[in-house]
């Protein structure tokens, strides 16, 4: 198995590496099968900061109801979507791996550097978490 192409798509499905942090984006992975039959394929996608700190990782088994099973000569295109307002402004590398049962790794790619732009105020940290705040009490004077 081989990773043939990795693309970053903005929320509208347009290929780009410049993203607005407020909007979702997708990583599209095109895979080609050279082996006779691949019974189970697991695809991993993780983002790292430029210094190599892993921010998050997702596996195809996290949400796909059916396992990916491919035969020789087949091509498969899969996508994983990241929500908006998750990553803070900065540059991240997108990494992809293909594997099977027992962590057998067929291919791995450090694909693309993406740039998240913040058009508001810059915040500290890697993740942009807009957490719920509540006023529990307030005294008027």
- pLDDT number for residue 70: 65
* Residue-wise burial string across 4-35, b where 16 or more C-beta atoms lie within 10 A, e elsewhere: eebbbbbeeeeeebebbbeebbebbbebbbee
Q: Residue 21: inside a domain, yes or no?
A: yes
Q: Residue 133: inside a domain, yes or no?
A: no
Taking only the tens place, the pLDDT of each residue in 8-33 is 999 999 999 899 988 999 999 998 87
* Residue span of the structural domain in which 12 resides: 2-117
Q: Residue 125: inside a domain, yes or no?
A: no
CATH number at residue 28: 2.70.50.60
User: Which residues 6+ apart lie within 8 Å of 14 measured at CB?
Assistant: none
Q: Residue 77: inside a domain, yes or no?
A: yes
Taking only the tens place, the pLDDT of each residue in 58-102 is 988 887 766 666 667 778 888 999 999 888 888 899 999 887 766
Check pLDDT > 70 for residue 48. Answer: yes
């Amino acid at each position: 198995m081989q990773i043939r192409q990795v693309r970053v798509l903005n929320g509208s499905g347009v290929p780009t590496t410049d993203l607005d942090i407020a909007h979702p984006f997708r990583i599209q992975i095109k895979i080609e099968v050279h082996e006779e039959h691949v019974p189970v394929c697991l695809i991993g996608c993780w983002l790292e900061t430029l210094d190599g700190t892993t921010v998050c990782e997702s596996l195809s088994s996290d949400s796909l109801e059916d396992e990916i099973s491919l035969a020789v000569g087949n091509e498969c295109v899969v996508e994983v979507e990241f929500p908006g307002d998750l990553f803070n402004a900065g540059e991240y590398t997108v990494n992809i791996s293909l594997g099977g049962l027992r962590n057998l790794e067929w291919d791995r790619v450090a694909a693309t550097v993406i740039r998240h732009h913040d058009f508001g105020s810059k915040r500290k940290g890697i993740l942009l978490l807009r957490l719920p705040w509540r006023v529990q009490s307030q005294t008027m004077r």
